[in-house]
Amino acid sequence: MRQSQSQQLRLLIGAFRLARPGVAQQPRHFSTRAHNSSKIAARLWEPLTQDCRPKLCYQPFSSTVRMSSLSLKLPNGQQYEQPLGLFINNEFVEGRGEKFDVLDPASDKKILTLAGASPDDVDNAVKAAREAFETGPWADFTGKDRSNILWKLARILKREEKLLAAIDAYDLGKPFEATLAGDLDETVNVFEYYAGWADKIDGKTIDTSPDKLAYTVQEPLGVCAQIIPWNFPIMMLAWKVAPALACGNVVVLKPAEQTPLSAMYFCTLIKEAGFPPGVVNIIPGLGNVTGKALAEHMDVDKIAFTGSTATGKSIMRSAAANLKNITLECGGKSPLIVFEDAELKNAVQWAHGGIMDNSGQVCTSTSRIYVHEKIYDEFLKTFVDFTEKNSTVGAPFDEGATHGPQVSKAQYEKVLQYLEKGKSEGAKVLTGGAKVDRDGYFVQPTVFVDAKEGSQIIKEEIFGPVVTISKFSSDAEAIAMANDTEYGLAAALFTEKISRAHKVARKLKAGMVWINSSGDSHYGIPFGGAKSSGIGRELGSYALDAYTQTKAIHVNLAV
């Protein structure tokens, strides 16, 4: 007796879950040899008949899938195979777009050259994703199936965390130890967290009358375009990809052209985990080519973007063409308020990390510090001393380095221009204020005082290790100064008075407020801003709303 299509599909997925070591399993690395074409060596489907046993009727791509890779030796001596090309439908293919160089910002030397995704490549990636969503095995994965495969991916990421941290440290310039302890730990946690959510996404029943049954279901959106920034490469990938997959979506992700390497290596882990073709597609490329094509594509259901406010506005205009669902996490110019009763040592330490972490290249950086006039002088001295003692400039793999380079020459020059603007506007430099005399894109940690409230260094996002410190005399003045910005991503305040803390937190116009800390986000807490800092929320259960839509179902019982 032949089985029905649905019975076959259940067997297929069940067999996939029963895969054992040695059966079409994936190696950690692929061949280093470049080939002219890529062919699938293992069949994805076998005809399912009544004698089909749980022998893996769905097979992940085998190690004989052809691709190009480059053997790279990292500055710490670690060697690995770096995949090249675009990852579409579980294969690496050559990009047909503009070529661009990936540089080491600590030395200004080229790491490699990549060919980006052209508009036609973007179209192919979207088509592969659409097919996977509509008709591929992924369409029939249960929440438990998605949970299992995300958990498996998290375990693989944990195994590879040191390599991924080293890759990100190399093309971003962030100190390796900070990348490993912060970014990779967060990456693994995020995938584990959403693996736990995948089988808990449900609707609810709504009581109306005895003659009517009404209920809701949460459905995936479909094809999700995701554009991530360069400041936390693999971590930002996790923030976007994990909740989207947990909800049953498929993704086409564009990493930043400055830091694409870890995302490309991540593709090999997607294959190893056993994701069906087309579920995850990663296409490096230039923002004004690849990113633009993704934002404008009419078969993309959602776009999630993290980056500058200017680019976010452009994406929002493009998304209007077919009313794409959007999530935007954009710029910030976050304030940090230190009240007169604050514990000074704690405030100084958090304020330092709040601006100098990742060389100031953090969207939530508390780059405007406001200190009560009674403790202003003491805070200044303590903060400058702490900054000078705890900012060890160095390359990512230098022992003891805490302060790396800016990510690119363009970002480096932008920060230096703001240093000159600050001086020309009359602000005084207490420490730093110049480039570091060495190869690479290094800028000294810089503290400005006496800056006018309307000056550019106070109003505009610099995205570098530059902070202004100003004084205030009353709570009302501090709140007014903190809110005097087009941005509204985050804010921090330091006080020992519990009532003041909560009252001020409510009055600050920001999506996130830290009390007696700064920037210590958590994957279970929503992340996002107000005003020009973006739309929507990432992380926590709130991200599930960003990747699902509610369907209401009405049942007439009076029949």
Beta strands 512-515 and 490-494, pairing class: parallel
Q: What angle do CA 197, 177, 397 make, to 5 degrees?
A: 135
Of the candidates 482, 487, 447, the one whose C-alpha atom is nearest the C-alpha of residue 468 is: 447
- pLDDT greater than 90 at residue 509: yes
How far is residue 2's CA from residue 502's CA, in Å, rounded to a whole number? 66
How far is residue 112's CA from residue 301's CA, in Å, rounded to a whole number? 33
pLDDT recorded at residue 203 = 96
Task: State the DSSP string of 340-396.
Answer: TTS-HHHHHHHHHHHHHGGGG--TT---EEEEETTTHHHHHHHHHHHHHHH--B--T
pLDDT digits (tens, 9 = 90+) for 289-317: 999 999 999 999 999 999 999 999 999 99
pLDDT recorded at residue 176 = 98
Q: At 8, is the secondary structure helix, strand, or coil?
A: helix
- pLDDT greater than 90 at residue 374: yes
Question: Are the CB atoms for 449 and 380 separated by under 8 Å?
Answer: yes
- pLDDT greater than 70 at residue 455: yes
Dmax (CA) for the chain in angstroms is: 86
If pLDDT is split at 50, 70 and 90, which confidence band does 54 have? very low
Higher confidence at residue 248 or residue 29? 248
What integer is the mean pLDDT of 410-438? 98
Q: What angle do CA 341, 344, 348 make, to 5 degrees?
A: 135
Q: HSE-up of 405 (CA within 13 Å, CB side)? A: 29
Q: At 214, is the secondary structure helix, strand, or coil?
A: strand
Q: Report the amino acid identity of residue 370.
A: Y
pLDDT recorded at residue 24 = 34
CATH of 124-330+533-559, one of 3.40.50.10380, 3.10.580.10, 3.40.605.10, 3.40.190.10: 3.40.605.10
What DSSP designation does 527 have?
Answer: B
pLDDT recorded at residue 66 = 44
* Prediction pTM value: 0.88
Q: What angle do CA 545, 546, 548 make, to 5 degrees?
A: 65
Higher confidence at residue 34 or residue 533? 533
- pLDDT greater than 70 at residue 36: no
pLDDT recorded at residue 68 = 77
pLDDT recorded at residue 48 = 28
As a whole-number percent, the residues of the chain with pLDDT over 90 amount to 88
- pLDDT greater than 60 at residue 35: no
How far is residue 404's CA from residue 528's CA, in Å, rounded to a whole number? 26
What integer is the mean pLDDT of 6-29? 37
Q: HSE-up of 6 (CA within 13 Å, CB side)? A: 0
Q: Is 388 exposed, middle or buried (0-12, 13-18, 19+ CB in 10 A)?
A: middle
What DSSP designation does 25 have?
Answer: P
Long-range contact set of residues 16-21: C-beta below 8 Å, sequence gap at least 24: 16/56, 16/57, 16/58, 16/137, 16/145, 16/274, 17/145, 17/148, 18/54, 18/56, 19/56, 19/274
Count the helices and strands in the chain (H runs, E runs): 17, 24
pLDDT digits (tens, 9 = 90+) for 174-186: 999 999 999 999 9
pLDDT recorded at residue 283 = 99
What integer is the mean pLDDT of 340-350? 98
Question: What residue ranges do the domains of the chain occupy?
Answer: 1-68, 124-330+533-559, 335-522
**Active site residue ranges:** 329
Helix (H) / strand (E) element for 424: namely helix 409-424
- pLDDT greater than 60 at residue 9: no
Q: At 463, is the secondary structure helix, strand, or coil?
A: coil
Cα dihedral 335, 348, 364, 233, rounded to 10, equals 160
What integer is the mean pLDDT of 507-520? 98
Helix (H) / strand (E) element for 306: namely strand 302-306
Q: Report the amino acid identity of residue 95.
A: G
How far is residue 38's CA from residue 310's CA, in Å, rounded to a whole number? 39
Tokens linked to 107: 């030395």
pLDDT recorded at residue 198 = 99
The CA-atom distances, in angstroms, between 556 and each of 147, 197, 216, 406 are 34, 32, 15, 62
pLDDT digits (tens, 9 = 90+) for 135-166: 999 999 999 999 999 999 999 999 999 999 99
What integer is the mean pLDDT of 252-277? 99
- Name which of 10-14, 148-152, 511-515 the model is least confident about: 10-14
What integer is the mean pLDDT of 18-24? 35
- Note the helical H segments in 113-249: 119-134, 143-159, 161-172, 176-178, 185-197, 233-246
In whole numbers, what is the pLDDT of the chain averaged over residues? 90
Q: HSE-up of 114 (CA within 13 Å, CB side)? A: 29
pLDDT recorded at residue 379 = 99
- pLDDT greater than 90 at residue 25: no
Task: State the DSSP string of 106-148.
Answer: TTTEEEEEEE---HHHHHHHHHHHHHHHHTSGGGG--HHHHHH
CATH class of 335-522: alpha beta
